[in-house]
Amino acid sequence: MIGGGLMGSGIVEVNARAGIDVTLVEVSPEAVKAAEARVTSSLDRALGRGKLSQEDYDSTLERIRFTDDLEQLADRQLVVEAASEREDIKLDLFRRLGQILTDDQAILASNTSSIPIVKLGAVSGRADRVMGVHFFNPAPVMKLVELIPSLTSSPETLERMRGYVTDGLGKDPIEATDRAGFVVNSLLVPYLLSAIRMYEAGYASAADIDQGMVLGCGHPMGPLALSDLIGLDTVRAIGISMYDEFKEPLYSPPPLLDRMVDAGLLGKKSGHGFYPYG
């Protein structure tokens, strides 16, 4: 696993609880400690709520190795990347991973929300064994996983990943084509951006917009609160990637979102977005 943020740490937990040995790589010793704290905190909550026994808690942690050394992934059969949603970072990682992995049959997968999988495969040197595997936040709870083969992904790679998701993790996959946004974000992100434009234009308060969608449409969470949970920088990055590919105005991030990201108001992970977080 590359990346121990909210998504990465959740994916690590899902795999370790399913009995899979995991090595989590972060960019620095400080980031390694933060990732370990996220995983431990989540397991602590599961233990406290009676959803995890002490024995399973201990064995789950024993299956996880934390490091800042990418070379530690050399013997892995599957590498899932959940680094920052920046194309240059992901391309560099896939280029390096293609040289590091010693197993010729090892699969490289990206948890990207919008970056073309075919580009990642092209730089890896193993394009037939690269595809997208898009988990949803929070990964330990959400059952859906999008599987995204590119033009160069082999049928065998897709079937191996389908088995990993269903039999290995007990989750439910859907298959999407390698287009920015895939299935869920192609529907979700324009909705989120529309809500931000509505708030920016002064139609209603953030709380009332969210309350309207929760009580009026039966959504479990309003669009602005959901944007905060996803991360406003991530919502913006997905919108930009989708706009670059399709040139549809509904995918273009509104000015307010640009300014909030520039100001460091990224949502729940930064402590403030459309709402404050303690």
CATH number at residue 191: 1.10.1040.10
- Tokens 């201990």: give the residue: 58
Judge if 154 and 237 occupy the same domain.
no
Interior angle at CA 229, CA 189 and CA 263, nearest 5: 85
User: Which among 110, 134, 150, 153 is annotated as catalytic?
Assistant: 134
Q: Residue 203: which domain range?
A: 185-270
The yes-or-no answer on residue 185 being catalytic is yes
Q: What average pLDDT values come out for the chain (278 residues) when binned by 10 residues?
A: 94 97 97 96 95 95 97 97 91 96 96 90 97 93 96 98 97 95 94 98 98 97 96 93 92 97 96 95
Judge if 19 and 155 occupy the same domain.
yes
The yes-or-no answer on residue 113 being catalytic is yes
Residue 215, judged by CB atoms within 10 A of its CB (0-12, 13-18, 19+), counts as: exposed
Judge if 159 and 45 occupy the same domain.
yes
Last residue of a domain, one of 175, 197, 214: 175
User: Which among 110, 113, 150, 153 is annotated as catalytic?
Assistant: 113
Q: What is the pLDDT of residue 165?
A: 98
Q: What is the pLDDT of residue 25?
A: 98
Judge if 171 and 212 occupy the same domain.
no
User: Which among 150, 185, 227, 241 is annotated as catalytic?
Assistant: 185
pTM: 0.88
- The whole-angstrom separation of Cα 132 and Cα 127 is 12
Judge if 152 and 207 occupy the same domain.
no
Q: What is the pLDDT of residue 10?
A: 96
Q: What is the pLDDT of residue 132?
A: 97
How many structural domains comprise the chain? 2
CA dihedral 33, 38, 42, 43 (to 10 degrees): -20
- The whole-angstrom separation of Cα 229 and Cα 237 is 15
Judge if 97 and 206 occupy the same domain.
no
- 123 within a domain of the structure (yes/no): yes
User: Which among 13, 36, 81, 146 is annotated as catalytic?
Assistant: 146
Judge if 239 and 123 occupy the same domain.
no
Is the Cβ–Cβ distance between 182 and 176 less than 8 Å?
yes
Judge if 245 and 108 occupy the same domain.
no
The yes-or-no answer on residue 146 being catalytic is yes
